[in-house]
Amino acid sequence: MSLAPRAVRLVSRGLAPKALSHRLARPYASAATDLTPNTSYKAVTHPDSAVPDSTKSLIQSQTHYLLNTYARPPLLFTHGKGLKLTDSSGRDYLDFTAGIAVTALGHSDEGVNKVMAEQAAKISHASNIYWNEHAGELARLLVENTRQHGGLGLAKEGGSSGGKVFFSNSGTEANEGALKFARKYGKEIGGHKKTGLVCFTNAFHGRSMGALSVTPNPKYQAPFAPLIPDVRVGELNDMDEERLQSLVDENTCGVIVEPIQGEGGVEASKVEWLEMLGRRCREVGAVLIYDEIQCGLFRSGTMWAHSSFPADAQPDIVTMAKPLANGFPIGAIMVRDRVAEVISVGSHGTTFGGQPLATAIGVHVLSRLSDPSFISSLNATASHLEGLLGRLPKMFPGLLKTDLRGRGLIRGIAFKDEKAPGELVHLARERGVLLLTAGKDAVRLVPALVVSKEQCDHAVAVIESCLSIMQEGGWGKKDKA
């Protein structure tokens, strides 16, 4: 039974995503056997260069005042609905990025808009000096839904074990807080030397100093060195027990890992490796942190990517953010009781985190995402998308690796040529479909969780057309420069 209030459950029904105004691609009735690429979308329909002069002028004027931290095409989106984004030229795009896995209920969702307007009219912020109506309710929904769906090692029957939540404003802040909590827990149980942190190859945990220190990518780290000390980097999915024992030792206070890496290439952590890692953490008293900022909150098909993992692979802390308020800034850290016991008054704080407006929206969003009918629909669509994507390596063996990455509605298309992902993203965008790169070798698909099978058909049809263009242009050949 859903933990959502009845009124919210009723709102969630009948909100199937509306199709884009342009014609969607043919459905793939014979997905398992039909290996003929759809080439209907080779023509450029949304050229980056076709931008109104007024937009060009606006972009140019803004560059005088905005720090140059983003490489962006000259696109300015003015509004959206569901999975449709409309630019300043009036062109509609099918959005398979969801604001980087954020807008789980799609753009400009009516239910979210209603809650936002009603709560803003009452009170949006008063600080954590005082209590508010919604923070505790959202924390309850997070803990009890986790208990019901699996995760954080919580028993479904309840009992003495439980969890507690701290709200922040973003995923990076959630990870910063989790690292602080691990350090405090380590010192409480092991003394002042128990401060070591462990992360893994290709991880991405954020860009502030602590989170950046456990994001072992020289591109991100080098300009800001020296970073925080006492951080070790292990190899993701390395099953060598001796190396693990050396990596996670008696002075380790915390280990942070993504069950499914997002920015790192949509690589999944193997369950058997996470079991081994979890056992080692418990042997030495280290806190195991799962960063589920991108893969959590039903994107993987279950509430958490680790929901169904065995007991040894259950974490002590889970961090989350992106979809929790459908684009309104919020993050959260959920911890087991034994970790919560060492976090006392003054241990951590925030000005904006857990404010009434953000948490009211969060209650609404989580109530809808956790509705059984929503989850069932999501998984049916995810299975359909998996079938479509699974055909691509067979169609384009010279271009693509054989592995289909991710699960649910976080998916990765892996390329043999590391220059190819950016090319596919560009070609698809100029044909009206928005995609993301991931790591060095992958293109990432993270659509809103309300995506329809027809929209999946269209996105993959465009991808097939673009891959056909790339193949005809020499991509995938050994002598390709």
pLDDT of the chain, 481 residues: tens digit per residue: 445 443 343 343 333 333 344 445 555 544 456 799 999 999 999 999 999 999 999 999 999 999 999 999 999 999 999 999 999 999 999 999 999 999 999 999 999 999 999 999 999 999 999 999 999 999 999 999 999 999 999 988 665 578 999 999 999 999 999 999 999 999 999 999 999 999 999 999 999 999 999 999 999 999 999 999 999 999 999 999 999 999 999 999 999 999 999 999 999 999 999 999 999 999 999 999 999 999 999 999 999 999 999 999 999 999 999 999 999 999 999 999 999 999 999 999 999 999 999 999 999 999 999 999 999 999 999 999 999 999 999 999 999 999 999 999 999 999 999 999 999 999 999 999 999 999 999 999 999 999 999 999 999 999 999 999 999 999 978 645 4
Alpha carbons 443 and 449: distance in angstroms, whole number: 18
* C-alpha radius of gyration, the chain, whole number: 23
**Residue found by looking up tokens 């074990």 in the block:** 161
Give residue 5's pLDDT: 43
Are the C-beta atoms of 107 and 95 separated by less than 8 Å?
A: yes
Are the C-beta atoms of 291 and 101 separated by less than 8 Å?
A: no
Give residue 159's pLDDT: 59
Rounded to two decimals, the pTM is: 0.93
Are the C-beta atoms of 5 and 390 separated by less than 8 Å?
A: no
Alpha carbons 324 and 297: distance in angstroms, whole number: 7
Q: How many helices (H) and strands (E) does the chain have?
A: 16, 15
Give residue 155's pLDDT: 85
Alpha carbons 10 and 287: distance in angstroms, whole number: 39
On the CB side of 120, CA atoms within 13 Å amount to 8
